[in-house]
Each structure stands twice: as C-alpha cells, then as structure tokens.
C-alpha cells in the first residue's frame, strides 16, 4: 500500500488545485493520501470529495509553521477532522502577517536589483493570504533571475540572502496542542531540513514529544537515503512513530507521488492504529 501523508495544493504553496493533487496522487498509485497545506484548511473539502471520486482513502491534514529557537520548523497534523473549526481559528493568526512579510521580502529583493517581486509572487498565489517564499521562488524563475525553484532557495529567500525576512510563526507546544485538540496526530516534518546539530535536534525531539507529538517524518521528498536511516533511528530511540510523505508541491518541483521507498519495516508507522 502506498501511503503518502504530506503534500500541498494551491490553497497554500502547491501549484495544483486540491482535486488535481488528489487525481495526480491516485494516478501515481497512492492508496492513502493526506493533504497538508501550510497553515490553512481550505482545501480539505475539495480534496476529500476528489478522493471519494478517485477511490482512494483521504486523511485531513495540515502543516503548521513553527518558530523554535529562531528557526522555522514544520509540524504536520494528521487526522484533524474532528476539530477543524477551532484549529482553523488558531491558524488564522499564524498566517495573518504573510502579506506584510511579503511586502518586506519584495523591498529587500528590490534592493538586490529584483523589481516587481510582490506583484509577481501574488500572481502565483491562488490564495493571497498564504503568499510565501515558494510563490516568490516561482516568480524568480519566471523572471529569469534563477533557473529553477531550487536555485531560488540557494541564492535568495533563505537566511543571509536577499528576500529573506524572519517571521514569528506559532510556538511548538501550541501547534502540537492544536493538532491534538483537533483529534489529530502531530508529526515532526522533514527534520533533515533544519540544519540542527545532534544536540539541538535531540532537544527539539524531546520538546516535541513532551508537547504531545507522536511521530517523525522519516521518508520524505527532501531526505536522502542516509537521512531515512538517521531519522528512523531517531524515531526508534525516542519511541516515536514514523511517517512518510512526498511533500509534493508541483510537477518538477521536488517531492513527487509514487516515487518514495516504503518505511523500514522495523519502524512503527504513524498509521498503525488507523483502520485502513
Ligand atoms: P514560507 O512558509 O513562506 O516561509 O515558505 C516555506 C516553503 O518554502 C516551504 O514549505 C517549501 O515549500 C519552500 N522551501 C523552503 N526551502 C526550500 C528549498 N531549499 N527548496 C525548495 N523549496 C523550499
Ligand atoms: Mn511549502
Ligand atoms: Mn515543510
Ligand atoms: Mn510541506
């Protein structure tokens, strides 16, 4: 069974509509899919309907932006269907400053010689309240400033480069708490992306677990095979469940459906007690 518990639609920074995301996943052999848009639940209804149509299982999900020790960390929530209203209200505040931040990002890019970035990014943002770095990256590609989205995140939009504006997202314990209150399970997303030393990673995992976190994303689009092993070991050591998800954003933008290996069979999958 292909279980993919991490992807994005154009309600956040994905390139496809929720229904298109589901159809693509189904065509590529996914049997169980969670849509996990950043800080927004707006795509879940459409995706659920499309999944019924396509004959695959659907899990309501979200990916919450968190600031932990000055770094941006992502927490995926799975199975949040029971408390969507309360969670939705909490997320409104998390995403509230995105437009202001986008204006500051555009000003910073302007100083670096790249004009028109705010309008450009907003053209790529189907849901303007969710405008973010991926939309700026797509604009930078379109404007010929960089070759691809990866290149945009190498030379721009990251700490120390033009277009990066720090932002105070949710607190770790709050994000995990909202997910648990919504009846969901919290998963620490792509831990290989944070550039944390062994000690800091250990503390992050401990605090995450303390707050009620249940799983670690082990197999995901941005991890290398070495990282599957490393974060599998982290999950095992801390008695956390393991999760798996492509982090699909759009065709040709990295993580893709139907292309990931299965979880190591020695790990306890986050879906173990789901009625699949
Ligand atoms: P934001 O929430 O606006 O800060 O944007 C974060 C998003 O940028 C992530 O969810 C990814 O989709 C994207 N992103 C961040 N770093 C990279 C990277 N190195 N390569 C590709 N996409 C990235
Ligand atoms: Mn994203
Ligand atoms: Mn993420
Ligand atoms: Mn993601």
Q: Are 52 and 58 in contact (CB under 8 A)?
A: yes
- pTM for the model stands at 0.98
**C-alpha separations of 99 from 42, 104, 105, 204 in Å:** 18, 9, 10, 29
Q: For ligand 1, pick from 153, 155, 157, 160 the residue to mutate: most ligand atoms within 8 Å of CB.
A: 153
Task: Supply the DSSP string of the chain, one letter for each residue.
Answer: --EE--B--TTTT-SS-HHHHHHHHHHTT-SEEEE--BT--TTHHHHHHHHHHHT-EEEEEEEEEEEETTEEEEEEEE--GGGHHHHHHHHHHHHTTHHHHHHHHHHHHHHTT--SHHHHHHHH-SSGGG--HHHHHHHHHHTTSSSSHHHHHHHSSSTTSTT------B-HHHHHHHHHHTT-EEEE--GGGS---HHHHHHHHHHHHHTT--EEEEEETT--HHHHHHHHHHHHHTT-EEEEE--B-STTSS--TT-SPPPPTTS-BTTTTS--
Q: Are 33 and 22 in contact (CB under 8 A)?
A: yes
Q: For ligand 1, pick from 7, 12, 13, 91 the residue to mutate: most ligand atoms within 8 Å of CB.
A: 13
Query: Does residue 37 register a pLDDT over 90?
Result: yes
Task: State the average pLDDT over residues 261-275.
Answer: 97
pLDDT in tens, 249-259: 999 999 999 99
Task: State the average pLDDT over residues 16-21.
Answer: 98
Which ligand places an atom closest to the C-alpha of 75?
A: 3
Query: Does residue 82 register a pLDDT over 90?
Result: no
pLDDT in tens, 184-210: 999 999 999 999 999 999 999 999 999
Q: Is 95 in the pocket of ligand 1 (CB under 6 A)?
A: no
pLDDT in tens, 128-179: 999 999 999 999 999 999 999 999 999 999 999 999 999 999 999 999 999 9
Residue nearest to atom 6 of ligand 1 (CA): 133
Query: Does residue 49 register a pLDDT over 90?
Result: yes
pLDDT of 138 reads 97
Q: Are 66 and 39 in contact (CB under 8 A)?
A: no
Q: How many residues does the structure list for the chain?
A: 276
Ligand 1 centre and the CA of 149: distance in Å?
9
- Residues within 5 A (CB) of ion ligand 3: 74, 189
Q: Is 13 in the pocket of ligand 1 (CB under 6 A)?
A: yes
Q: Confidence band (pLDDT; 50, 70, 90) for 84?
A: confident
Q: Is 36 in the pocket of ligand 1 (CB under 6 A)?
A: no
pLDDT of 16 reads 98
CA angle 170, 172, 176 (to 5 degrees): 100
Residue nearest to atom 13 of ligand 1 (CA): 134
pLDDT in tens, 219-237: 999 999 999 999 999 999 9
pLDDT of 236 reads 98
Tokens in use for 240? Answer: 């956390």
């Amino acid at each position: 069974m292909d279980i993919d518990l991490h992807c994005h639609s154009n309600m956040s920074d994905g390139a496809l509509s929720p229904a298109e995301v589901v159809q693509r996943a189904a065509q590529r052999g996914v049997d169980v899919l969670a849509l996990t848009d950043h800080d927004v639940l707006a795509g879940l209804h459409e995706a659920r309907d499309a999944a019924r149509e396509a004959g695959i299982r659907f899990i309501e999900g979200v990916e919450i932006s968190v600031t932990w020790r000055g770094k941006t960390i992502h927490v995926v929530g799975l199975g949040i269907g029971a408390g969507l209203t309360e969670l939705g209200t909490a997320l409104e505040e998390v995403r509230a400053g995105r437009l202001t931040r986008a204006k500051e990002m555009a000003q910073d890019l302007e100083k670096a010689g790249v004009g028109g970035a705010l309008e450009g990014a907003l053209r790529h943002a189907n849901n303007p309240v969710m405008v973010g770095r991926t939309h700026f990256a797509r604009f930078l590609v379109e404007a010929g400033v960089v070759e691809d989205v990866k290149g945009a995140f190498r030379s721009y939009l990251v700490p120390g480069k033009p277009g990066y504006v720090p932002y105070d997202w949710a607190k770790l314990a709050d994000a995990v708490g909202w997910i648990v209150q919504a009846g969901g399970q919290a998963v620490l997303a792509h831990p290989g992306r944070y550039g944390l030393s062994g000690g800091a990673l250990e503390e992050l995992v401990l605090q995450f677990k303390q707050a009620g976190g249940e799983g670690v994303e082990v197999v995901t689009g941005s991890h290398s095979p070495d990282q599957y092993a490393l974060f599998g070991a982290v999950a095992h050591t801390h008695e956390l469940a393991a999760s798996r998800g492509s982090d699909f954003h759009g065709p040709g933008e990295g993580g893709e459906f139907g292309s990931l290996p299965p979880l190591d069979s020695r790990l306890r999958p986050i879906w173990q007690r789901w009625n699949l």
